[in-house]
Chains A and B, each alone.
Chain A
Amino acid sequence: MITKIGFSFLFSCLVSIGTAATISGFVTHKESSEPMEYVNVQVTEIQAGTQSNKKGYYVITIPKEGTYTLRASMISYTTLTHTFEIKSTDENIQYNIPLDKAAVEMAKTVVTAKAEEDEVNSPTIHVGTIRQTTEDIQNTVSVAEADVFRSVMTLPGVTPISDFSSGLYIRGGSPDQNLILLDDIDVYNPNHFGGIFSTFNADAVDKVELLKGGYPAKYGGRLSSVLDVTNRQGNRNFSQGVARLSLISSNATLEGPWNLGDEKGSYMCSFRRTYVDLIKNIFDLPDYYFYDGHIKLNWDISNTDKVSTSMYTGKDNLDMDVGANIHLDWGNTTATSQWMHIFSPTLFSQFILAGSQFKSHFIQSSENGEDFKRLNGIDDITLKNISNWKVNNDHQVDFGFDAKWNRTYLIGSSAYQYDPNSMPDVTVKALTTSMFIQDAWALDQNWTFQPGLRFSWYKTLSISLKSPPGASYVNLEPRLSLRRKLGESANVYASYGRYHQYLTLLSEGESTPFDVWMPLDGTLKPGISNHYIVGFRKELSIYFGMDLEMYYKNYLNLLEYNPATDYTWNNETGTLKDTFYTGKGHTIGTDFMLRNEWNGLKGFISYTFSRTQRKMDGMNINPQTHASEYFYPKYDRTHSINLVENFNISENTGWQLWGADFKVGMNFVYATGQPSNKPEQVYFDGQQYQILYSYQDRTRLPAYSRVDISTKYEWQKKWGSIEPYIEAINILNHKNVSYRSYYIIPDDNGGYKLKSSDSTQFPFLPFIGINITW
């Protein structure tokens, strides 16, 4: 059967080569000339269509001469049609498509075309994928200012563990199982402020694509999901800017065109800094600040060659006196250079050379000097290629390679008389290479089959410890998806994917700058996960659309940091395995999302059911048998409901407040309480009462719920706009418990009693700020 399919594919490829004309080009925003992805482009006469790729490129093959109509459409944009003529089958027509945002009144009409324009009929199968634009991120109510991760956390299937952590727990996966990319390079610790903010400045971001599972063959190296963040290229038509001032930070973004010779390009730069440190003396706050900056330059050498380079750098800095002086700083730096080349209209390639670095320093000092120092970091240099070959209108083949060099280190030193053998001093270098191929194959008008295969080879290059053996692992990762259209407005699909992970994270549960990435040595096997997904997508009406996905994931060779080791190894005899619990797990769940864009009310309501269990050797031990038991981890939330809605009152009713456009937004979230342990028994050890705790999931903390609202008032001026805003977090001041601790204290009768205290999350918090654009 496999041989038959192979021959069929090869025959189809051979027949198509050199026998069809093409029309190709780039789809761009008309206003800024920035590329647009996922625009549906069709040649109506032959019912052949495609979607523009990440760089806005599209290509359609046309089998015979004639006059044709090209139609490009996307929700909320004016549909563009273009008539062209094919005079011979070896003709390659180039046609770039500028798409204009639809006016408000027009948009209501445009939405009627939604059913045939959106992903229901896309040529490739998008499993578990949700996209967010800058506008979506800006419209999500967040603490102090818009934040990419906080916006992602409102999506079905994504579980926040705490208001204070931006770790993404996606469909039962932990944050280290997410591949987080910024302009195609990994970002290893994307947090500011201990996790309250993500490193991505929302103004610099063009779009965020979250692939919650079953992701295609071009991605690999993580067990759970992918968050692909793309920075804006910058306006190629005119210069513009935006400045934002919130209670804790300011940021500014500038963008515009630039020319080099006859060829055009664009730039975008964005910078943000907090100013808590400026008021520290008034409120006796710790000396803390963070900053980050994005810059991106693009240059179109020719119509077939474009290059871009982007860079991100960010740093957090904290100094405080807790009796000893504590200094912490941490940050990410990434740099990416991309060369996009069109070998032929049907063969599009991107070559990427990129680097990423995360490092953190912890220094404790006293009047005696530096007492303790801890350095930790990861360096990454990646070379990759992603190519798209449009074999014909029935086959779209993606292929490429990826070579990633990593160096990670964790080095401790101390003036204390610590046993030097127990101070971490580990440096590991590793190389991961991979190749992938995937075909989106339109079997007929209704069926699409998308087989893919990823080959990966991981090898440790050096380990500074004496004992651990090196690792060399080769793995094949099949990815299969099948989709059946159900008319023009619905489809069902099924997907399977197998994934491997060679890097793991030493983390105490919530994302912190102390987290340490570590490539596997020969004592640890690569993590494995299998994703099984079925989905149903339907455009219910011109106003509503729905997505439903059910999934099952299992994990093998899971690794979880053992906090009792306190990041130490025996440098003489230790291996990386000493620091981890190993085990297995599974997740089953359902994500449901009902999208609406109804008379200006834009947003969604979502429901997630999820059940995650893990079993890790050495954790959650049965005291009778000393065997480990399955448990629901802290991020397991059985039910969660999210409601995110925005309404531009002025735009949709004409009513203004003091001459300003008036917009309102709200988020509501409800989630089952997190699993927690609780005291079961007690004994006295001569000094204290010792509490014997239950399994770590014996009970559930109270359910989490929060309502956030925002109002924005936008005054349009000749030179731009001013938009002050007021936001309020947790307006019902609901007490959301993140942790419950227990104490035994003396009671009034000469005995003792058990007492508990709750650590709660954000109370009611109002924020104000102002956005200025020009």
Chain B
Amino acid sequence: MKKLILLFIPVLLLLSACSDLTSPKRFKESQYTLSALLIAGTSISPMNPVIVGKSVDISQLNSPDMFISNAVVNITESFQEAEITTFGLVPYSIPVPNSTDMITVYIDPNHHFIQPEHKYHIEIQIPGYSKTIIAETTVPKQAQLEPDYNHLNIPGQGFSLTLSDSLPVIPFNRVNADYPLALKVDGEQTVNTLFELYCLEDFSTDLEFTTTFLGQEHPPASMESDYYASSGETIRRINFLARMISKQADDGQYYILLNDYKQGFIFYGRYMVTSNVIDDNYYYYKFKSDGYLYGGVVNGIGCFGSESGGTMYTKIVK
């Protein structure tokens, strides 16, 4: 018995030495990043810029090193293999959302409009980085928002295409039946779609859930951090991402229609609703885990995507 115990103790000690088994660090150095979403019918502007940056250690979250201000950025536009034009982007300063910090982004000073079905090839050279960051996207076919698909024309009700102090309202129980999200497209086609519902209200424990669950009508204070999270999907920002096929409606036009989505309005209040057809780069960027590896960026990470659609606003009421 003693021998047995004497044998067992060193074995245990040996095994104990193997505790806390973990992998080494994954990102040993900063990654150069490209973030751009070209929107059909608009130009690359301060509202919708190209961001060239690099990742920083998580402890340096507010570091200005995250943005690169001296990159050379050029875009080549082509259509059906024929090159149309090449244009350069210039640095421009904008504030970080919800912050007073300014960051450098890149915009098109000549306002080239992004065209549906055109291919855009971007090349970025960064001083001190030997590789050229390359990416390209083909903009989806034109998709047009239809804020009032059922042609109800009820004053003060429905969606508005602009954000204002007096938004039209939609009763929560009429969302699906009366105001489906609709994108008019050209003919029958299979497309990647992204619908996003973003609550514009500030967080408060007075916010009211549209559907009570386990007796809860209002969010607890502890939900505030989840609400304001600036990473990933949150209870404030709900996405529907799917491959969909357009269908012909009674008016002879083809639509992408989402008519059961009210569960995405978690709270009553004002919402920004975006409906877009998106390219494969942006689709995989949003869809896959580690999406930044699948966003079409070579010699860097991030996403160079494009979309066609639009944004609407409404207020969800009881």
Residue from the list A538, A636, A691 in contact with B4, Cβ < 8 A: A538
Q: What sequence of 0s and 1s flags, for each residue 200-232 of chain B, a beta carbon within 8 Å of any chain A beta carbon? A: 000000000011111100000000011011111
A688-B231, A744-B231 known; A284 vs B19 contact (CB < 8 Å): no
Minimal Cβ-Cβ distance residue in B for A742 = B231
Expressed in whole angstroms, the minimum distance between the Cβ of A139 and any Cβ of chain B is 27
The interface centre, meaning the residue of A590, A621, A623 with most chain B CB atoms within 10 A of its CB, is A623
Which stretch, B31-39, B72-80, B81-89, B129-137, touches the partner chain A? B31-39
Q: Which residues of B are found within 8 Å of A743, using beta-carbon distances?
A: 225-226, 229-232, 234
Chain B residue numbers with a CB within 8 Å of A731 are none
| A324 contacts B by Cβ under 8 Å | yes
Distance A563 CA – B25 CA, assembled complex (angstroms) = 24
Asked whether any CB of chain A lies closer than 8 Å to the CB of B144, the reply is: no
Bound-state CA distance A451–B7 (Å) is: 30
Which residue of chain A has the shortest Cβ distance to B20 in the bound complex? A700
Q: Are A681 and B99 also in contact (CB < 8 A) when A417-B246, A590-B15 are? A: no
Set B173, B215, B260: member contacting A371, Cβ < 8 A: B260
Which stretch from A167-175, A195-203, A292-300, A752-760 is at the chain B interface?
Answer: A752-760
Instruction: Judge whether B99 and A746 touch: CB under 8 Å.
Output: yes
Report which of A321, A638, A695, A745 forms a contact with B229, defined as CB distance below 8 A. Answer: A745
Interface-lining segment among A5-13, A211-219, A245-253, A418-426: A418-426
Flag if A751 contacts B31 (CB, 8 Å).
no
Least Cβ–Cβ distance between A433 and chain B, in angstroms = 39
Evaluate contact between A629 and B33: CB separation under 8 angstroms: no
> Which of B159-167, B285-293, B306-314 lines the interface with chain A?
B285-293
Chain A, 403-423, CB within 8 A of any chain B CB? 415-422
Closest CB in chain B relative to A50 CB, distance in Å: 30
Check B61 for interface membership: any CB of A closer than 8 A. yes
Partner of A323, one of B31, B210, B288: B210
Chain A: which residue is nearest B176 at the CB level?
Answer: A366
Q: Are A609 and B27 in contact (CB under 8 A)?
A: no
A681-B35 in contact (CB<8A): no
> Does A47 interact with chain B (Cβ within 8 Å)?
no
Pair A416/B260 contact, Cβ less than 8 Å: yes
Give bound CA distance, A681 to B25, whole Å.
Answer: 11
Q: Does A540 sit at the interface, judged by CB under 8 A?
A: yes
Docked pose: A636 CA to B18 CA in angstroms: 13
- Closest Cβ of chain A to B56, distance in Å, is 6
Which of A145-153, A311-319, A466-474, A672-680 has 4 or more CB atoms under 8 Å from chain B? A672-680
**Assuming the A-B contacts A675-B22, A746-B99, A750-B100, are A689 and B61 also in contact, with contact meaning beta carbons closer than 8 angstroms in the complex?**
yes
Closest to B34 in A: A685
- B11's nearest neighbour on chain A, judged by CB, is A590
Q: Which residues of B contact A630 (CB under 8 A)?
A: 23
Do residues B231 and A639 form an inter-chain contact, with CB atoms below 8 A?
A: no
> For the complex, what is the distance from the CA of A632 to the CA of B24, rounded to whole Å?
12
With A638-B18, A745-B225 given, is the CB distance from A680 to B27 under 8 Å?
yes
Closest beta carbon of chain A to B217's beta carbon, Å: 10
A621 touches B290 (CB 8 A): yes
Whether, in the assembled complex, A464 has its beta carbon less than 8 Å from a beta carbon of chain B, the answer is: no
Q: Are B27 and A694 within 8 A (Cβ)?
A: yes
Beta-carbon nearest neighbor of A620 in chain B:
B23
Does B230 lie within 8 Å of A689, measured CB to CB?
Answer: yes
Hey, what's the 0/1 contact readout for A730-774 against B, CB within 8 Å counting as 1?
Answer: 000000000000111110001111110100000000000000000
A110-142 CB contact bits vs B (8 Å, 1 = yes)? Answer: 000000000000000000000000000000000
B265 within 8 A of A: yes
Chain B residue at minimum C-beta to C-beta distance from A592? B8
Whether the pair A672, B20 counts as a contact (CB closer than 8 A) is yes
CB-nearest residue of chain B to A682: B58
**A-side contacts of B97, CB under 8 Å:** 687
- Considering only residues 244-285 of chain B, those with a C-beta below 8 Å from chain A are 244-247, 256-260, 262-265
What 0/1 readout, one digit per residue, does chain A (631-657) give for beta carbons within 8 Å of chain B? 110001011000000000000000000
Per-residue CB contact flags for chain A residues 690-724 toward chain B (1 = under 8 Å, else 0) read 11111111111000000000000000000000000
- Given A623-B27, A623-B301, A686-B35: A284 and B214 within 8 A (CB)? yes
Query: Inside 8 A of A699's CB, which chain B residues have their CB?
Result: 22
- Are B21 and A632 neighbours in the complex by a CB distance under 8 Å? yes
Q: Which of B15, B26, B225, B245 contacts A609 (CB 8 A)?
A: B15
Smallest CB-CB separation from B103: which chain A residue?
A684
A564 and B55 alpha carbons, distance in the complex (Å): 24
Shortest beta-carbon distance from A770 to chain B in Å: 28
Contact status A681-B244, CB under 8 Å? no
> How far, in whole Å, are A321 and B263 apart by their CA atoms in the complex?
9
Is B190 an interface position by the 8 A CB rule?
yes
Q: How far is the CA of A746 from the CA of B230 in the complex (A)?
A: 8
For A524-550 the 0/1 string (1 means CB < 8 A from B) is 000000000000001010000000100
Q: How far is the CA of A680 from the CA of B22 in the complex (A)?
A: 14
- Return B259 CB to nearest CB of chain A, in Å: 6
Known pairs A636-B21, A638-B18, A744-B61; A683 contacts B302 (CB<8 A): yes
- Chain B residues within CB distance 8 Å of chain A: 1, 4, 8, 11-12, 15-16, 18-28, 30-31, 33, 35-37, 49, 51, 53-58, 61-62, 66-67, 96-101, 103, 105, 173, 176-177, 190, 210-215, 225-226, 228-232, 234, 242-247, 256-260, 262-265, 287-290, 292-293, 301-303
A/B interface sample: 8 pairs, CB < 8 A:
A371-B260, A623-B31, A679-B58, A684-B35, A692-B31, A693-B290, A695-B26, A744-B231
The list of the 6 closest CB pairs from A to B, nearest first, reads A323-B263, A743-B229, A685-B35, A681-B55, A751-B62, A695-B23
Further pairs besides A419-B245, A680-B27, A751-B99: 12, Cβ < 8 Å: A323-B211, A364-B260, A368-B260, A415-B260, A417-B257, A622-B26, A638-B20, A683-B302, A684-B103, A695-B26, A743-B226, A751-B101
